[in-house]
Amino acid sequence: MNGDFNVWTSTQGNFATRDGLAKLLGVSESKIEVNSVEMGGGFGAKIQPLAAAIPAIIASQLRRPVKYVLTRSDDLRSSVPSSQGYFEITLGTKRDGTLPGLVLRGAAYRA
């Protein structure tokens, strides 16, 4: 990876996704290219760059491409509009880039 991010995601907000990822990763917006794919009706759930943030952080740490696919059930649980929550991710990696361990702790908050 040369420090640029080429993101493929189902979003209704390419610029919001790009701006959010740039801020999250501490890089210039010009370093991030967001490609949206056909997705059908999002009804507001595809505005926030939530799903793009996790693989972007992992890719920036591993310095290699990452593919992140949610099941339909996971997508519904993790997308907006929904209640806010807190999540802490611990990721174990090997030198070859494989991910032998992932621990996710979190809590959802009622509005």
Residue ranges per domain, the chain? Answer: 5-81
pLDDT at res. 27: 93
What's the token pair of residue 89? Answer: 């991710």
pTM for this entry = 0.62
Per-position pLDDT tens, the chain of length 111: 456 899 988 888 889 889 999 999 999 999 999 998 877 666 666 666 667 888 888 888 888 898 888 887 777 666 666 666 777 888 888 888 888 887 888 776 654
| pLDDT for 107 | 72
Residue 60: per-residue pLDDT: 87
Report whether 92 contacts 99 (CB < 8 A). yes
Just give the CATH number of 5-81: 3.30.365.10
Give strand pairing partners of 35. 8
